[in-house]
Structure 1
Amino acid sequence: MKFWGRRSTAPAKRTPITGHAWIDPILDAAIAEVTDGHLSAAITVLAEVRDDPETRDLRLDKLTNAIPLGRADDIAELAVEHHDPELALLAGSCYAQEAGAIRGGGWASTVGEERFQLVRATAGKALPFLHGAAEALPDDPIPWAELMSTAVLLGIKREQHDELWGEVHRRCPTLWTANQTRMWLLCEKWNGSHDEMLRFAHQAANEAPAGDPVTAVVAMAIAEFLMYEGREHDAGRDRRRFQREALTKSMSMVEGAADKWLRAEKPHPRAIAAHNNFAVVFGLAGHEQRTLLHLLGMRDRLTGFPWDYFEAEPGDLFHEFVEKYWPADLEVTDPDADPEPVVPPRKPCRGPCPPTAHT
């Protein structure tokens, strides 16, 4: 009988689902059609949510990802032939995706000028289609959000970025993708600064209505800061120590953003993505109760960002957090079932506690 020694690795308590951080059966059916080479369902599911920017934004994103690279020209021809704003959106989004694939995910210093020229030429093809979609549906913020992402690939001036953000903000200030793109544009990695990025995230969370998961832009910004500054620290204990110390200084802001969302939480297509962002930041901070709360909210569905900022395989950090924070006797058998309402932990107070406020 063995009384000491290295404990054998326990089997994973949860099996993560990667690349599917949403619950939208209609979108799933349309993706299946797109995968088989048919666009009619994609056009339909985009058109039916013209008055729901967040769902329209999510569907455009995932449908674009499902379309094979190299098909943007074909979709552009259809858009010109049919004068259809949904086809125009898809064409512009596909051109931007192809430009991003040409660029790759590395730092700008690893991309040569010849490749940058090809990136800009491909991204430039998106512009007439996205502007056309914006003209066809003047109240739709999605073409402007796509223009924001495309503009990053084109390397346009900051003033033009500000104008595009203004167009989105006037139409839908809480739009998830636009806020994420704006946060990245302001970060030090993209010639902004940590201060400007964090100020934006804090302001966006403050201005968001209670119950909107866009408050997770605070967690996104913190993750961006930790990744960028963490490069100066060796992987392992030194980097984790830096992360803990940095998070100690910003934890009240992250907690406030999470609480503002969860205390009035409403159904939202980006809720699972928001839980991912908060789970990473609270997990790195060592906050057991809050990390578990957001792991539960994820329903085992992993986004790439921000997990891949801290481990090459997003599932590695997820399993680390499950092992550390998930109680051994807690079993969730149906992650797609409607979860119980999530109520964030409250800080202890002296004397009688006031009623919970929707901040």
Structure 2
Amino acid sequence: MGLFARLLGRRDTGEDHPAATAASTAAAAPPQGRPVIDPAFGDAELARLRAFVGVGSWPGARAVLDAAADQDELTLMVEAVADVKGAETLIGRALAADPDDALLQLAQGARHVSWAWEARTRASARNVSEEQWKLFHERLESAEEHLYRAAELDPELLGPWYFLQISGRGASIDREAARHRFEAALRRRPGHLASHRQRLQQLCEKWQGSHEQMHAFARGAMLAAPEGSPLGELVARAHIEHWLSLPPEEDAAYMAQEHVRGQLHEAADRSVRHPDYRRGRDWPIAHNVFAMAFALSGQPAAAHLFFAELGDRATELPWGYWGDAAEVYERTRLRCAKG
């Protein structure tokens, strides 16, 4: 096991949990001087939206959602709403008064996806109880009903097809159905990064794919997009996923390969390091992914540049695969700063 693998305290469950515990992690007051896992990514508008949901003000939340610049931003904002515990009650009351509101149906569907994973917990599959599995699938079924209703009410919405990719993976739908949901999202927003992230997960070996499929998808999507597109992040994610799947005696050697290091630089140069790259509200996600990938590949100087831009803006994933995300982030940041 390599230096950075030991530093991370590697502990992967083999599961992927979209929206898993970010809010609960941020709710606990961390020791002074540690990064905080902020589910709003340091973005004031996302924080305001979550605050409205947290205090039970749907009109306030709706005003923020209605001001979204485009479908990408609206989908991100709906995901922020969905991650707030108890949001299903607030949205349910609003939905009872207006069941044909597409945005309400979308928000409730998204919330039920997140709510399902709360029931499922982050435990490994063998440690999830029969009652937890039952609740997980019930909530996923409810989520899909709301999401399909949203898509029916407003066929132009991107959000339903993004969240249906997550619910579909949880429900273990077949490969063709999973591909259909991804393609439906892309017909509405071809360069939607979050949907590409979900497709990458679907193609991981631990789900329904293979390393070859995963890497081919990541690289193909990056090269098909114009330079400055955020899709280069997929290449870094694919290498981290590959690293996760390897035994400790092989993982460091894999990441240290010259072609892996070269692909990480190529991906960063075509995306987050390109002059045409534009940061979205959730830009810290990509920077955290690249920071980890460069650290794991034994390139602390490259990783340090990302940490310098991030400051304390750590994200739950990918660091949360190995325990307390803020702690792992801080250890890795300090080590990379020393070179």
TM-score by length of 1: 0.78
Does 1:251 pair with 2:258?
Answer: no
Does 1:185 pair with 2:197?
Answer: no
Q: 1:319 to 1:77 in 2, by over 3 A?
A: closer
Alpha-carbon distance in structure 1 between the residues aligned to 2:83 and 2:63: 17
Does 1:242 pair with 2:251?
Answer: yes
Give CA-to-partner distance per residue, 1:72-100, whole Å, 9 cap, x none.
26523532531222211111011111111
2:206 partner SS: helix
> 239, 243, 257: which is aligned to 1:222?
239
Q: Which residue of 1 aligns with 2:95?
A: 79
Alpha-carbon distance in structure 1 between the residues aligned to 2:186 and 2:291: 27
2:264 partner SS: helix
> 7, 20, 28: which is aligned to 2:47?
28
Alpha-carbon distance in structure 1 between the residues aligned to 2:139 and 2:60: 26
Q: Is the 8 A contact 2:40 2:47 kept in 1?
A: no
Q: Which residue of 2 aligns with 1:7?
A: none
Does 1:64 pair with 2:75?
Answer: no
Number of residue pairs matched?
Answer: 305
Q: Write the letter of the residue equivalent to 1:295.
A: F
Q: Write the letter of the residue equivalent to 2:164.
A: L
Alpha-carbon distance in structure 1 between the residues aligned to 2:132 and 2:42: 37
Offset at 1:112?
5.0
Q: Which residue of 2 aligns with 1:321?
A: 332
Q: Write the letter of the residue equivalent to 1:260.
A: R
Q: Write the letter of the residue equivalent to 1:325.
A: C
Larger-Rg structure: 1
Which runs of at least 4 in structure 1 moved beyond 6 Å after TM superposition?
Answer: none
Alpha-carbon distance in structure 2 between the residues aligned to 1:56 and 1:26: 12
Q: Write the letter of the residue equivalent to 2:160.
A: P
Structure 1: state its 5+ residue gaps.
1-11, 329-359
Does 1:123 pair with 2:134?
Answer: no
Q: 1:113 to 1:185 in 2, by over 3 A?
A: farther
Q: Write the letter of the residue equivalent to 1:256.
A: E
Alpha-carbon distance in structure 1 between the residues aligned to 2:300 and 2:32: 16
Alpha-carbon distance in structure 1 between the residues aligned to 2:281 and 2:151: 23
Offset at 1:162?
0.8
Q: 1:79 to 1:26 in 2, by over 3 A?
A: same
Give CA-to-partner distance per residue, 1:9-59, whole Å, 9 cap, x none.
xxx99741213462432221121121112122222222222x523322221
Q: Is the 8 A contact 1:17 1:302 kept in 2?
A: yes
The percent of aligned pairs where both chains have the same amino acid is 26
1:128 partner SS: helix
Provide the alpha-carbon RMSD of the alignment.
Answer: 2.4
Q: Is the 8 A contact 1:43 1:87 kept in 2?
A: no
Alpha-carbon distance in structure 1 between the residues aligned to 2:183 and 2:63: 28
Offset at 1:126?
1.3
Q: Write the letter of the residue equivalent to 1:322.
A: R
Alpha-carbon distance in structure 2 between the residues aligned to 1:138 and 1:112: 38
Higher mean displacement: 77-86 or 57-66: 77-86
Offset at 1:173?
2.5
Q: Write the letter of the residue equivalent to 2:265.
A: E
Offset at 1:291?
0.6
Q: Which residue of 1 aligns with 2:70?
A: 52
Alpha-carbon distance in structure 1 between the residues aligned to 2:253 and 2:316: 22
